């Protein structure tokens, strides 16, 4: 498991089984029981807090990581790696976080 990977997660309802984008720093996966993750959804609204995702990231349909919906996810709930993000998408995630938390210094990335 690494930061900026997309994994299938078995989450409590109503979320259920869905892809999530891992956000925790790489060193934390060896000892944390829960990690920070953004939900991935096919409901695309065009918000600045969304990062477009698709086949290049291992997803079968056009989706977005929504940085308005970050949650702790138990490592045991992560069942299968789907894909990973390019460096350009890393910047897009940081920018979307900037919008989500009103951290202006990240918006200009």
Per-residue pLDDT band at 109 (split at 50, 70, 90): low
Output the pLDDT for position 27.
Answer: 95
The CATH number that applies at residue 63 is 2.30.30.110
Average pLDDT, the chain: 95
pLDDT digits (tens, 9 = 90+) for 5-16: 999 999 988 889
Which SS3 state, helix, strand or coil, does residue 29 take? helix
Burial class (CB in 10 A: 0-12, 13-18, 19+), 2: exposed
Spatial distance between the Cα atoms of 59 and 83, rounded to a whole number of angstroms: 8
Token pair for residue 29? 């996966």
Give percent of the chain with pLDDT exceeding 90.
90
Average pLDDT over residues 84-107: 94
What is the number of domains present in the chain?
Answer: 1
- What tens digit of pLDDT does each residue of 34-69 get? 999 999 999 999 999 999 999 999 999 999 999 999
Cα distances from 101 to residues 22, 66, 94, in angstroms, run 17, 13, 11
pLDDT of residue 15: 84
pLDDT number for residue 32: 96
40 is in which domain, residue-wise? 5-107
């Amino acid at each position: 498991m690494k930061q900026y990977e997309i994994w299938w997660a078995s989450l409590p309802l109503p979320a259920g089984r869905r892809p999530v984008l891992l956000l925790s720093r790489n060193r934390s996966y060896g000892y944390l029981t829960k990690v920070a993750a953004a939900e991935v959804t096919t409901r695309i609204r065009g918000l600045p807090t969304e990062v477009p995702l698709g086949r290049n990231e291992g997803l079968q349909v056009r989706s977005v990581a929504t940085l308005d919906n970050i949650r702790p996810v138990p490592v045991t709930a992560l069942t299968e790696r789907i894909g990973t993000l390019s460096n350009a998408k890393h910047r897009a995630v940081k920018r979307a976080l900037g919008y989500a938390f009103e951290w202006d210094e990240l918006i200009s990335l």
